[in-house]
Amino acid sequence: MPASSSARAAEQSTATQDEAFSHVSGAVSSQLHAMIGIVMLAIFALFAWLMYARVMPALLAVPCMALALAAVGGCGPVALGSVLVDGSVKLAPVFAAVIFGALLSRVTMSTGIAETIVSYAAEFGGDQPAVLALALTAATALLFTSLSGLGAIIMVGSIVLPIMMTVGIPRRTAATLFMLAFALGFIFNITQWQFYTSTFGVDRGQMQRYAFLLVGIDLAALIAFMVVQFRSTRGSAVWALPAEEPFARKRVPAAALVTPILPIALYFAWGMPPAVAFVIAAVYGVLVAKPREAVSVLVAAAIRGVEDVAPAILLFMGIGMLLAATALPEVKSALVPVVTLIAPRSWFGYVTAFGLFSPLALYRGPLNPFGVGIGVYTVLASLGILPPVVLVAAIMAVVQVQNACDPTNTQNVWVANFTGVRINEITKLALPFQVAVAVLATLCVGLFGRSLFGRSPFDLVQPVSAATPAPAGFYAPATAMRTIGVQSRAQGLSTQAADAAQREIAAAWDGYRAVLVKNDPAGSDCAAKPYVAVLRVGASVYHWTYQPDQLDVDMELLDCAGWPVDQWHEQDWIPHGATPTNDQVRRLGLAALSRFRTWMREKPVLAEGLLTRGLAYDPAQGPTYWYTLFKSNDGQMRAYARPEGPAYLAGMRTNDIVVKLDGKYWWEYGTFQTQSRAYDGIPHGFELQRGSKNVNVLLGEAYRG
């Protein structure tokens, strides 16, 4: 029924109360987000302590942390289930790379390829400790560009470490050299690169210059360590060789020795996926080294390889859950105001956070990307404070400290036990040199970032509290404040419902005006719009066979540039074949309008922004580029860009066809993964097709309010 006069008067009397409620609720909401964010940081600290004290392993602590963050953020059972199920497979490409990398590791070890490479290095070094140590270090680093897993550490270490110690290299020096060589080779380990590209959306081509620079810095630190140790230590290690010579087996053909570096060439030079590169290298290695036993060797390598990397896979599942949890709006909105207080916004802060403070990666600490730190890094990525390549560069620098020095690493534990030294001795010897690597690497990013990445590393840095400058036309003019446009989708019933909504706003909403809109709001920017928002109203009749027909009135809320904000539907039954009455259409139109009024009360921050300047945005949402991606009926992935938004200004237009995203075809990520990147606040690069032309778009600074 139409609203009574008393009800209309009551609604008029509460209009001012609605506005006051909007401001108060916004302030309370911000304070609540900040409090929840502090609780989430306490959860980070709790699980960090549990891992540090070895009360709970990272395999269990990381997924528990993810679920705890989602629960504290107020997520319901559905969201928690999404964290558990969707998060566990979020890094599936990394799982595949790790598993096939372990296959290659086992093939390299079981065929004697790794043993032969080490034997040649030992022969090259002869009985000169320094030369031998350098040769074995180079061989170890080369092997770990493709090998992974504790099994590979045990196999290579069991050969390399005894040779070092029998020529007079002290045990703790040999152990530390082996860990430094492992960290050096791991810079180019493909499984690690798959983790970076899958998690942070960077392209391998963007990181190669920096990776070579990091290798140079790390190599210089390793040589400096050798010089210091060989000058300051004398005497022989106490070690008894086993009865059997370590190189008693027949050496493999020389052609097989390229097996460990073959995946590197296939991945970096020819752009093959990591899993494919590992499989090709494994098949090549076994066919050259043991062609008659190829099938049995491959089967055994696959089984043992999965055993080797099972803990890593479980850890990546937990990391995926943490990624899914920090991507939830409830979690992100709570973490944003807290993390932005400590986020680095200058080259000095960057070097301090990721260079000088890099020891915080130890004990699965807050900078460890395979522990608590993954939550920190994902939040930083979602905020868009640093370009993704710069953030990954920081992670790569920190990982050099973590890989060589962390006493909780299984490889550190095994090497310490095998050589008979205390695990903390390795940490004490390696830490100063690896921290220097992290400091120099991050300093190079600050000084030479434009040469390394093709852009200034701190272009995106700005205080989040500062308003982002907006071009003319991004907001509605001041004269349009609290003016709501009403548009009918079609003639007939839609017009009746739209007319009812317009009349109700004009007559009963104190302080608001209503105007009819004929043109498409998305067809132009907001500079000359006479309204801040548009209610697009439609009405349809659905005919059913075994029940009465149904009248549906839908109301879509758009901002001044036609960007969708929300939508509501109201339905009522009508007799078969009957035409809805004017009263029915009007009643459903007013019911939908009441849903809009309820939305204004439930989301006061969005409502205030929309109705005063034509933009529904809550700063707690984090940075955005005001575009979305959708799959059209022809199977193409297309863009939808808000006029005068950051994506629009970068060159993106509505209905552009997405060809590539960050250097990859969009279907390589998958539909959902591609579309979700529109909401992560990261400045992605696009290759778009517009008619017969290809357009390259690189997003710049995000909108932050």
Nearest to 319 by CA among 21, 59, 42: 59
Per-position b or e across 586-608, b if 16+ CB within 10 A of its CB: bbbbbbbbeebbebbeebbbbbb
Do residues 179 and 196 both lie within one domain? yes
Query: Does residue 705 form part of some domain?
Result: no
Q: 292 and 345, same structural domain?
A: yes
pLDDT at 325: 80
Q: How far apart are CA 577 and CA 550, in angstroms?
A: 10
How far, in Å, CA of 238 to CA of 82, rounded? 55
Residue 480: which residues within 8 A CB-CB, separation 6 or more?
526, 529, 530, 531, 532, 560, 614
pLDDT for 26: 45
pLDDT of residue 670: 83
Express each pLDDT in 322-334 by its tens digit: 777 876 767 766 7
For the chain, the domain total comes to 3
Task: Please indicate, yes or no, whether residues 603 and 624 belong to a single structural domain of this protein.
Answer: no
In-domain check, residue 321: yes
Closest of 318, 315, 308 to residue 411, by C-alpha: 308
| 511/437 same-domain check | no
| Same domain as 626, residue 577 | no
639, 654 Cβ separation under 8 angstroms: yes
- Residues 635 and 561 both lie in one domain: no
pLDDT score at 31:
60
Closest CA to 679 of 638, 624, 637, 631: 624
pTM assigned to the model: 0.59
Same-domain status, 238 and 356? yes
Using 50 as the pLDDT threshold, list the residues of the chain that sit under it.
1-28, 235-248, 460-468
> What is the Cα–Cα distance from 18 to 611, expressed in whole angstroms?
13
Tell me, yes or no, whether 10 lies in a domain. no
C-alpha 69/C-alpha 87 separation (Å) is 13
Do 444 and 502 lie in one domain? The reply is: no
| Beta-ladder partners of 639 | 629
Q: Quick check: is 228 in a domain?
A: yes
Q: Does any domain span residue 27? A: no
Q: Which domain holds residue 496?
A: 478-613
**Which two structure tokens, joined as six digits, stand for 147?**
């090998």
Please report, for the chain, how many H helices and E strands are present, in that order.
Answer: 26, 11
- Pair (255, 155) in one structural domain: yes
pLDDT of residue 21: 44
> Which CATH number do you get for residue 495?
3.30.160
Please check whether residues 596 and 667 belong to one and the same domain: no
Phi then psi for 441, rounded to 5 degrees? -65, -45
Enclosing H/E stretch for 427: helix 423-453
Q: Is the distance from CB of 409 to CB of 358 less than 8 angstroms?
A: no
